[in-house]
Amino acid sequence: MLTLIYLIAITAEAMTGALAAGRRNMDIFGVTVIAFLTALGGGTVRDIVLGRYPIGWTQHPEYVGLVVAGGLAAVFVARYMKRLSRVFLVLDALGLIAFTIIGCGVAQSMDYHPVVVVMAGMITGIAGGILRDVLCNRVPVVFRQELYASVSFAVALLYLGLIKLGVPHDLNVLASFAVGLAIRLAAIWREWRLPVFMYRHDLH
Amino acid sequence: MLTLIYLIAITAEAMTGALAAGRRNMDIFGVTVIAFLTALGGGTVRDIVLGRYPIGWTQHPEYVGLVVAGGLAAVFVARYMKRLSRVFLVLDALGLIAFTIIGCGVAQSMDYHPVVVVMAGMITGIAGGILRDVLCNRVPVVFRQELYASVSFAVALLYLGLIKLGVPHDLNVLASFAVGLAIRLAAIWREWRLPVFMYRHDLH
Amino acid sequence: MLTLIYLIAITAEAMTGALAAGRRNMDIFGVTVIAFLTALGGGTVRDIVLGRYPIGWTQHPEYVGLVVAGGLAAVFVARYMKRLSRVFLVLDALGLIAFTIIGCGVAQSMDYHPVVVVMAGMITGIAGGILRDVLCNRVPVVFRQELYASVSFAVALLYLGLIKLGVPHDLNVLASFAVGLAIRLAAIWREWRLPVFMYRHDLH
């Protein structure tokens, strides 16, 4: 089931990535690249940082096909996506949680320290969006919007904690999704944000 | 001969990278870094993604010397480069094709799936220019200009197809250069572009 | 002693990174990421380029804790940091030199070519600041400000040269710090810069 959610999530991420590319008037090649990086960039950065070769998607060319198709499809259905924005927010939240759990699992299976396991989960969850924003030449929204990375952090902690407590894996995944989704949707609904740090001067 | 074209191409790429740095008023260190990344960044990203260590240029410090020299030379001959812009467009096209063929070959020799082989060729061809543009703080031109990544894509497909058909390697390389160069120069001349995706709304 | 300077330096780098994030009005998660990348990003890029796995900080989660704490602390003491700007400039210079020496040592222990050893030192010294600036959506200051990367370059050359001459390692490190600090502080004081390359035209 985690795999199914993962496949739906990377398709949804690819589609929202395509819209970001469209906001920069990119051509369909640019759309494809941004869709790919938004969907699969997080896992790529995680694998590179952990030294896990071969990188995930290189062994699953069907994932590449899926996100490219999703990105191109978004061009055609863009006019309807605004109306579906709530659906996409939910899919994006599901993706964030799935990516986080999968990323934690990868680092754990390589015997990394729990601190690195949590970071691997968060990298998988948010690095794709950071790459998308860097290539679209803007400050990553994940550094400024309502709770997003924090959801990934909370899910990673919860997932690791429940493993430590010996909770069965299926139940653990279910609890992580329930809690993660609840926090994320509440954060969108109530506009929960982390405190912002404003600084005016140049140090130098 | 592919090696000779490669050496000419990385020098030419380094020189055009230096001009991009000059447009941002960088100092000669910045010029050197941008020249290096424009010329050798694509191969670096490819090697990191494929997990091919040691990375190419670390075993060829003479390439590093060549691109640094090319970048610094561009500062001195900058005033003449506008007049030579057609020459550089041809050298850049040759480089794009050479990078693509070399990148495909690297991934193939590591037994990656054909989808990854094509992507490795394209990464080698275009990632250097993307790094240059990100460090110069602009949206990568490869996502917006006339056919460029598409040339890399076409060359990669043709090259793999001709291998499959059992065409001798020399003839294959020759055909790939002929077709690639023809498409690229025609694209510049006739301003062929991919369809552009324009999108106005914020999804979120 | 190099380790002690290293720990002080990554904390100071994390704090200055946090201020850069504050200038972009990031939330405290963004502050944490920028602090982390400013302090440990250079070593991360070096390890990835050299293929040295596992990456340094993954084996030292206490470093991650230190830079996160430093970044968050900067939010609270930001108002005092302007007054301490000279202290931070010195700490930053010490960090640049320590990072360079450590980076050279890593590449040397992997038997890379001297050209790559020098580059590894420089990457360790400056790539963190480049990542910080890219994520803050600006052209990296290291490409434009008074002598900085050049200090890293000079220190790397001196350090390698003294090893070649058989100078004892402690003395070598001491000399590298003395010379590096002298150049860097003089450069700040006298505003020494590399020549700037200004270029107006689009090649294409």
Do residue A30 and residue B143 have CB atoms under 8 angstroms apart? Answer: yes
Interface residue of A19, A29, A75 to substitute, partner B, most B CBs within 10 Å: A29
DSSP string, A87-129: HHHHHHHHHHHHHHHHHHHHHHHTT--HHHHHHHHHHHHHHHH
**Taking residues B159-172, what's their average pLDDT?**
96
pLDDT band at A203 (very low <50, low <70, confident <90, very high): low
The DSSP call for residue C56 is G
In the prediction, which pLDDT does C202 show? 65
Q: Omega of the bond prior to A168 within 30 degrees of 0, cis? A: no
CB B68 within 8 A of CB B81: no
- pLDDT, tens digit, 9 for 90 and up, residues B2-11: 889 999 999 9
- In this structure, chain C runs to a length of 204
Please tell me the distance from the alpha carbon of residue A35 to that of residue B199, in angstroms, as a whole number.
Answer: 14
Query: Per the structure block, which two tokens stand in for C157?
Result: 């050359």
Query: Which residues are bridge partners to A196 per DSSP?
Result: C27
Q: Which amino acid is residue A189, in one-letter code? A: W
Please tell me the distance from the alpha carbon of residue B92 to that of residue B87, in angstroms, as a whole number.
Answer: 9
Q: Which amino acid is residue C167, in one-letter code? A: V
Please tell me the distance from the alpha carbon of residue C2 to that of residue B77, in angstroms, as a whole number.
Answer: 44
Residue with tokens 């490819």: B46
For residue A204, is pLDDT > 80? no
Please tell me the distance from the alpha carbon of residue A98 to that of residue A174, in angstroms, as a whole number.
Answer: 11
Please tell me the distance from the alpha carbon of residue C184 to that of residue C125, in angstroms, as a whole number.
Answer: 13
In the prediction, which pLDDT does B129 show? 94
A113 Cβ under 8 Å from any chain C Cβ: yes
Exposure b/e, C155-164, CB count within 10 A at least 16 = b:
bbebbbebbe
CA distances from B3 to A34, B98, C72, C144 (A): 32, 9, 51, 34
- pLDDT, tens digit, 9 for 90 and up, residues B85-99: 888 889 989 999 999
DSSP string, A21-66: HHHTT-BHHHHHHHHHHHHHHHHHHHHHHHT-SS-GGGG-HHHHHH
CB A9 within 8 A of CB A38: no
| C162 vs A195: which has the higher pLDDT | C162
- Residues in CB range of C200: below 8 A, 6 or more apart: B23
User: Which H helix or E strand runs over A136?
Assistant: none
List chain C residues with pLDDT less than 50.
none
- pLDDT, tens digit, 9 for 90 and up, residues A149-194: 999 999 999 999 999 999 999 999 999 999 999 999 999 888 888 8
Q: Which of residues 166-195 of A touch C (CB under 8 A)?
A: 193-195
Please tell me the distance from the alpha carbon of residue C139 to that of residue C142, in angstroms, as a whole number.
Answer: 9
CB C163 within 8 A of CB C88: no
- pLDDT, tens digit, 9 for 90 and up, residues B38-65: 999 999 999 999 999 999 999 999 999 9
Do residue A112 and residue C54 have CB atoms under 8 angstroms apart? Answer: yes
Do residue B204 and residue A89 have CB atoms under 8 angstroms apart? Answer: yes
**Taking residues B157-186, what's their average pLDDT?**
95
The DSSP call for residue C145 is S
- pLDDT, tens digit, 9 for 90 and up, residues A100-124: 999 999 999 999 999 999 999 999 9
Q: How many CB atoms lie within 10 A of CB C108?
A: 17
List chains touching C (3+ CB pairs under 8 A).
Answer: A, B
Alpha carbon C96 to chain centroid distance? Answer: 4
Classify B183 as helix, strand or coil.
Answer: helix
Phi, psi of A161 (to 5 degrees): -60, -45
Which one, of C102, C75, C78, lies nearest residue C177 by Cα?
C102
Please tell me the distance from the alpha carbon of residue B102 to that of residue B43, in angstroms, as a whole number.
Answer: 9
Q: Which of residues 118-147 of B touch A (CB under 8 A)?
A: 119, 130, 134, 137-140, 142-144
CB A33 within 8 A of CB B127: no
Residue with tokens 């200009």: B145
DSSP string, A69-92: HHHHHHHHHHHHHTTTHHHHHHHH
